[in-house]
Amino acid sequence: MERILVIGCSGQIGSELVLELRGIYGNHNVFATDIKTPPLEISESGPFQILDVLDYKNLLHFVVRNKITQVYNLAAVLSSNAEKIPLQAWDINMRALMNTLQVARKSEAKKLFWPSSIAVFGPSTPRHNTPQLTIMEPNTVYGISKLAGERWGEYFFTKYGVDFRSVRYPGLISYKTEPGGGTTDYAVEIFFDAVKNNYYECFLSENTTLPMMFMDDAIKNTIRLMEADPEKLSLRSSYNMAGISFTPKELATEIKKHKPDFSVVYKPDFRQKIADGWPASIDDSIARKDWGLIDDYDVKNMVDHMLKKIDEKLNTKQ
Ligand code: SER
């Protein structure tokens, strides 16, 4: 019987992942924690506790006391926020990871998921169809922390037998919980502003292609990787995951098919430089082969779904 801890349950990924895991493993076997209060559906559907991943002793006690067997560590300061507080972001991102790696080493919670990101790549990486193994010279604090984290994950697997698993998420698009402080956040904000105001001011230029993925696909693949036969996993750093690549202009054009009066003004800010160093598209053939990565959403389905759900969400709130 698996007993699962999700750290960062109030965030963009965690708030959806917890509910999906509870559906599979049973509400009482999925423990949700964060330093922030989660959405009601999380705190009401199963165990929730305020817990700081940076507090190693408390984390270890929690894991032992609750007989946890797997951990998803989703706590992180995202790319654009990290650029505002570089040393603090490095400290938080790395300590959060090292604490969960150490807990996995010292307890029965041997299986650990930790998200990496397309931010591990940098301006010297081939931008199109970026391979799994390639030049990696990230130039953001977030990217450096993710690349270092991948190396540490693989190290703990080889040296201490920690069952470390990871994917390099592209930008994630969701309507339940908005992301905060990322460079790919425009692809979520644009939908909320389209529904609310029919207008969006975009902080990236219209032709910036980035890889993105709808949250349903991201969650499904994350769980798929965690459930995969360990023998099949040829990589213990982090798997490329491609999703769908598009520009802000292409996304706006798709939204306009539903909302003909929608308009976008492009005012690139400091985040443009971050985006310019990231891949435009990714090769994820190793993940497809090793553990069967699949994605169901293309831009059209994703836009249909996002607009419908955000419309429902904003209208029920009023
Ligand atoms: N979506 C993240 C960000 O923009 C990248 O992993 O920071």
282-317 per-position pLDDT tens digit: 999 999 999 999 999 999 999 999 999 999 999 876
CA 283–ligand 1 middle distance (angstroms): 18
CA 275–ligand 1 middle distance (angstroms): 9
The model's pLDDT over 218-229, given as tens digits with 9 standing for 90+, comes to: 999 999 999 999
Residue 178 to residues 14, 68, 182, 215: CA-CA distances in angstroms? 11, 28, 10, 11
pLDDT at 317: 65
**Does the active-site annotation cover 142?**
yes
234: in domain: no
The model's pLDDT over 269-286, given as tens digits with 9 standing for 90+, comes to: 999 999 999 999 999 999
Average pLDDT over residues 76-97: 97
Beta carbons of 114 and 153 less than 8 angstroms apart: yes
CA 109–ligand 1 middle distance (angstroms): 27
Q: What domain range includes position 311?
A: 172-212+243-317
Please, what is the angle between helix 299-317 and helix 248-256, to 10°? 70
203 C-beta closer than 6 A to ligand 1: no
238: in domain: no
Please, what is the angle between helix 56-65 and helix 86-106, to 10°? 30
Instruction: Give, for ligand 1, the residue of 85, 120, 140, 142 to mutate: max count of ligand atoms closer than 8 Å to Cβ.
Output: 142
Same domain flag for 129 and 195: no
For the chain, the domain total comes to 2
Task: Give the whole-angstrom CA distance, residue 235 versus residue 212.
Answer: 22
318 pLDDT above the threshold of 60 = no
Beta carbons of 257 and 300 less than 8 angstroms apart: no
Q: What angle do CA 161, 166, 168 make, to 5 degrees?
A: 150
Same domain flag for 182 and 94: no
Ligand 1, atom 1, residue with closest C-alpha: 171
12 C-beta closer than 6 A to ligand 1: no
Same domain flag for 278 and 297: yes
104 pLDDT above the threshold of 90 = yes
Residue 31's CATH number: 3.40.50.720
169 C-beta closer than 6 A to ligand 1: yes
Residue 224 CB neighbours (<10 A): 15
